């Protein structure tokens, strides 16, 4: 099994404990994702210490304030590290207001261009207030001219857009929220993603699966998310494991 999106440095337990628990659960590879200049470097330090960890480097939409040419240059410089297998997470977040929209757009556009130049996939964060799809619509529109770019819609939470994602060959990665009882539409969407575009993740330490909602998330808990996704797709856990492991290997080249 793989965890296609995590923030290992933010998990409350020491990384040694987090990685050991993941290994015990059968999670062999983890993408640990940076959010800004400092956390990008934290992920690279972890990747140097632990086998099976790989990094994405970027500037999160919620941290996009002050993004400038120097920030873009820093991301591109870090992307040369062989343990960096993706750019991001980037995109648009209209749910939180910790960064103004224009800063988010500037950071998003820059990271699209970086991903194209370095030939690595782009990890997308997109979040709307309930009842709106303005952010997801703008993300799709912004990406439209870049159809050759490999795109991962991390923590996929826009069930009405799953067919449009499939039309563009975007990867849809499902997190612990797919296990929440209220999210039936999201489970239905997980059943409709093409076999070669489905992935699973934790987004640890956030979005803990249903049975562990009182705990902070960690990569080991991706197993519960994968079990739920396998159930709604009508396949065994082993079959889903084979699919997502192959898809992540294709995307990240690890």
Residue % of the chain over a pLDDT of 90:
98
Considering the domain delimited by 2-252, tell me its CATH architecture.
Alpha-Beta Barrel (3.20)
**CA-angle at 98, arms to 95 and 102, nearest 5°:** 85
CA distances from 190 to 5, 14, 31, 128, 239 (A): 17, 32, 21, 19, 15
- Of 193, 185, 184, nearest to 133 (Cα)? 185
Please count the CA atoms within 13 angstroms of the CA of 182 that sit on its side-chain side.
Answer: 2
pLDDT, position 5: 98
Whether the pLDDT of residue 97 is over 90: the answer is: no
pLDDT tens-digit series, residues 164-200: 999 999 999 999 999 999 999 999 999 999 999 999 9
pLDDT tens-digit series, residues 28-39: 999 999 999 999
Compute the average pLDDT of residues 221-231.
98
Compute the average pLDDT of residues 10-32.
98
Helix, strand or coil, per DSSP, at residue 127: strand
pLDDT, position 187: 98
Domain edges within the chain: 2-252
Whether the pLDDT of residue 127 is over 90: the answer is: yes
**209 CB-near residues (< 8 Å, 6+ apart):** 176, 179, 217, 221, 224, 225, 228
Is residue 59 within 8 Å of 35, Cβ to Cβ?
yes
pTM: 0.97
Whether the pLDDT of residue 88 is over 90: the answer is: yes
pLDDT, position 184: 98
């Amino acid at each position: 099994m793989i965890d296609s999106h995590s923030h290992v440095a933010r998990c409350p337990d020491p990384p040694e404990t987090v990685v050991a628990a993941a290994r015990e659960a059968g999670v062999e590879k983890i993408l640990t994702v940076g959010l800004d200049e400092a956390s990008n470097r934290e992920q690279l330090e972890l990747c140097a210490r632990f086998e099976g960890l790989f990094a994405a480097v970027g500037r999160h939409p919620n941290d996009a304030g002050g993004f400038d040419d120097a920030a873009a240059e820093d991301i591109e410089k870090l992307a040369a590290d062989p343990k960096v297998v993706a750019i991001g997470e980037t995109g648009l977040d209209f749910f939180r207001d910790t960064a103004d929209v224009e800063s988010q757009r500037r950071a998003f556009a820059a990271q699209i261009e970086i991903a194209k130049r370095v030939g690595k996939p782009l990890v997308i964060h997109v979040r709307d207030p309930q009842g709106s799809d303005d952010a997801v619509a703008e993300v799709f529109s912004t990406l439209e001219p870049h159809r050759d770019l490999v795109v991962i819609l991390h923590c996929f939470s826009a069930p009405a857009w799953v067919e449009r994602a499939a039309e563009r060959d975007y990867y849809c990665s499902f997190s612990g929220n797919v296990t929440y009882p209220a999210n039936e539409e999201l489970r239905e969407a997980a059943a409709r993603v093409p076999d070669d575009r489905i992935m699973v993740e934790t987004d640890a330490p956030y979005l803990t699966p249903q049975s562990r909602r009182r705990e902070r998330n960690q990569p080991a808990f991706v197993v519960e998310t994968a079990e739920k996704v396998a159930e709604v797709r009508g396949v065994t856990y082993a079959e889903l494991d084979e699919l997502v492991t192959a898809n992540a290997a294709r995307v990240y080249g690890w």
